[in-house]
Amino acid sequence: MQTKIKFRGVVTLLVVATMIIGCSCSSSKIQTDMSARQKILKSFYPTLTKVTRFFGVKTNVKLPGKKVTAPVSLFDFNFESIDGNTTSIKNFSGKKIVIVNTASDCGYTGQYEELQKLYTQEKGNIVIIGFPANDFKEQEKGSNEAIASFCKKNYGVEFPLAAKSVVVKSNYQHPVFKWLSDPSQNGWNGRDPVWNFSKYIIDEHGNLIGYFDPGVSPLSNEFLSVLHTPQS
């Protein structure tokens, strides 16, 4: 029994090490075309998801447990879009909102494809807002223009992207992510992103109803079950 536990522990460490290695060697400039490394990461993404899922790495989910009304409305916030315009989140009132921090040079970058598929399937009912960030191992070094071009050309991204932002707790944290990770504002959740492609679901009234680690696919049953929670 102890041997099995030790073996599982070693394998888990190897999985984590693979993730770190696969996500840490970012290039100094993000190109519109995929680099050889980015192509490898894209092809490896399905395997990464299965392996991390099996070993429970970066697969945590947080739900409120009961209906919680946010003390501060998310609809009071704006964000700068990747093309420089200002967008009010109030524009998306009446739809489910998925907010996700993204990066172009990570093992989870392939999740762009799943997010776009979800956006296409649910168009009209949900909105996805991607916030590119360079907070984890400097995996998003490109300019806003380069990021937008990369996402469009390689993953067909059509959902809104914000200007590159800081999403982790700091003096520079984007106000939207401050709201997402501050219980005094959202009513219950204190979890800020643990890595690129951490995801939050907000209901039609602007209330946070779920947090999902990067290893949880936006097409998974547990994610979709929260996304499809009936409006109340």
Active site members: 106
Calpha distance 136→179 (Å, rounded): 20
Q: What are phi and psi of 100, to 5 degrees?
A: -140, 135
- β-sheet bridge partners, residue 129: 99
CB count within 10 Å of CB 84 equals 9
CA distance linking residue 197 with residue 130, whole number of Å: 9
